Structure 1
Amino acid sequence: MPMRCLVVDDEPLARERLRALLDEADEDVEVVAEAEGGKEAVSLIHDREPSVVFLDVQMPVLGGFDVVDLLPEPGQRPHIVFVTAYDEYAIQAFEARALDYLTKPVRLERLNKTLGRVQDALANDDAREQENLDDLRDSRQDQALKRLTVHVGHRLRVVPLEEVRWIEADEGFVFAHTEGGRYRTDFTLEELESRLPPTRFVRVHRSTIVNLDAAYELVPEPAGTATLRLQDGTEVKVARRRTDDVRSAIGG
């Protein structure tokens, strides 16, 4: 599978040059999008789910480090490679936990080394995710939830799992959606993923779990993503890397 890249730079010629170098690179690379500013970059990172972002440091309004501040922690975001004409930001890039730091003009030989590092990091990500999935499967047998407790004003309400249509993480809280409304829980999304019945509840996105009994249809989208439409008309985004698993779960 090609390495999915997002190129972010406010200078069109800089984006064009980097894209041309990526076309010549040794690794199998796909530039899924370009952005000319930080705000657009944040939106594209969410929508296109690149594997790596080549991010200019100095841009108007929202610079490269500002973009990183708006993203989740490493492990929940794409790998970041800063690209700049100056070398004085190297320490700051290291503190931002970037994978690499390229100075302009970027040379193909140096870019190939960076892409090799990205490929190694992606392989480690896949191995770590599989290990986490194995741990989740093992823990579910002993910790399975039979009901969900949610907050309704100052009260706690017990909700049967069959009434929960989908669950989302939003602004630091986790909410369960039922026919009666949207209710806050005290669980993290990771805890719920590990303790809900895996044949019924499926993680479809970094911020969403869906009850497959509430699903109506899976609609493919460009770039390998999809939309899961629920029976009540709700549309939930399915991450590109989870689309095949969701399709299998629905079919199964």
Structure 2
Amino acid sequence: MKLTISILEDQPTEAEYLKTLLHKWSSQENCELEIAEYCSGEEFFTQNNTDTYKRFSVFFLDIQMKELSGLDVAKRLRKEGYTGPIIFLTAFREYVFHGYEVHALNYLLKPVKEEPLFLCLNEIANDISNSSYLYRNKQDIISIPYKDIITFSSSLHYIDILTVSEHYCQYATLNNIIEYLPQEFIRIHKSCIVNMAHIYKVTGSTIVLSNRMTTQIGRSYMKSVIAAFTAYSMRFDKA
């Protein structure tokens, strides 16, 4: 397996240290890396275009760069069609809440620690290896990558499965399905399960999803959903 990584970091020592850890992880996991390094958002966008963004498996973005901040870069990447993981590098934990609007995978606090970084990379590698949900109907069995599933929602005795590109309908119940889903899936009300990796923003009781659809958090689920999503956003860095 190969990961193509883009690092935008304006502090050379920070960038070098991150690359050292990345190469250590790749050696342990027998994963090939291709790393492109940029000292600013301006440099990145000068050297790349919308056709080349998609080749990157993951972006590591320093939030506090001089002109274009990491948040500015992430917003432009999302606007121009990049859907892969974005990881912010920051010295300030409070920046986590700004990531909702750009669908950030995670925040790593500086100086980056080996354990949270490796956990983050393992999750990305696992997603790329296509861990999947098996959808069954009378004619077919289809393997759907979990990373592509946005929501499961119930209607009478059927479940609608919404993905980034398709829609499926299955005879099942949410109670049965949620027992077998990965931890990034959370029930937000009695008739809907959401993949937290596809949450762009939470405003009050409204969730904005990666496809720009909105859904509501049930009143009795509110506290658990907010707690779970906050923990998910910071799951690799507990310091």
TM-score (norm 1): 0.46
Q: Which has the larger radius of gyration?
A: 1
Looking at both structures, which has the greater relative contact order when contacts are Cα pairs under 8 Å and sequence separation is at least 6? 2
TM-score (norm 2): 0.49
